[in-house]
A and B are shown apart, each in its own frame.
Chain A
Amino acid sequence: MVEGNGAVSLILVSHSGEIASGLAEMAAQIAGPTVEIVAAGGAVDGSLGTDGGRVLEALRAGAKGAGAVVLVDLGSSVLSVRAAIAELTPEELEHVSVADAPLVEGAIAAAVAASTGCTHAEAARAAEEARNVAKL
């Protein structure tokens, strides 16, 4: 790891600003202060929806150093992330992984993985393993 890279960061994309920010708070409590978690939830006016510009801004900001893992909720969140990914340079793309994972469990798993100093691809895999963990 290059010096000063720090831990992988998380980008949480949800239709709801409150889901994204509440989950960021929850994941930060479990993972500790070394992992930066960016909440990109809600539409431009704060209503339910996604803000493509904000998602792109978050991805661009995260696409350096140790990189970022992106978690999404449903439908157009996925489309917003796809659209933002299409705007990134090949070099930026090397610093970003999108996790195909349930949002809450995936964010917790990725945040704790990130806090152990893993790569963004490993954090995404940790999130994706959440699909196989039974709740009951």
Chain B
Amino acid sequence: MSPSSDVRIERAACLPAEVALHARPAGAFVRAASVFTAEIFVSANGRRANAKSILDILSLGAEGGAELVIDASGADAAEAADSLALLVAALA
């Protein structure tokens, strides 16, 4: 019952205008998310996807410029949400 494991961190991130969360960028995102122990989800277009599942992420259909919300729960949730939000904004 560690209190840190109950922490839920939310970060907003905007995809660059010309980058959809498909193919290579989606793979890069899932790879980065898989490093963390936290449970991580990404919401876009009214859907919420497991950040560690490529098929889930592809099903979001997040196009360039989309507003994403990343929420993470667990010991490294803050680090996970922060670094993934930065990664999204820097996707090329």
Instruction: Point out residues on A near B: beta carbons under 8 Å.
Output: 29-32, 105, 108-109, 112, 115-116, 129-130, 133-135
Contact = CB atoms under 8 A, between A and B. Distances in A.
* Interface range, B side: 10 to 19
25 contacts: A29-B23, A29-B24, A29-B27, A30-B24, A30-B26, A30-B27, A31-B27, A32-B24, A32-B28, A32-B31, A105-B55, A108-B54, A108-B58, A109-B53, A109-B55, A112-B27, A112-B31, A115-B27, A116-B31, A116-B34, A116-B35, A129-B53, A129-B55, A133-B55, A133-B56
Q: Is the interface of B mostly helix, strand, loop or mixed?
A: helix
Nearest to B30: A112
A133 B47 CA distance: 14
Interface of B: 23-24, 26-28, 30-31, 34-35, 53-56, 58-59
> Which of A108, A112, A133 has the most chain B CB atoms closer than 10 A to its own CB?
A112
Contact of A30 (B23, B35, B56, B59): B23
A133 B53 contact: yes
Q: Which 7 A-B pairs have the closest CB atoms?
A: A30-B27, A112-B54, A116-B34, A133-B55, A112-B27, A112-B30, A29-B23
Nearest to B54: A112
A135 B53 CA distance: 14
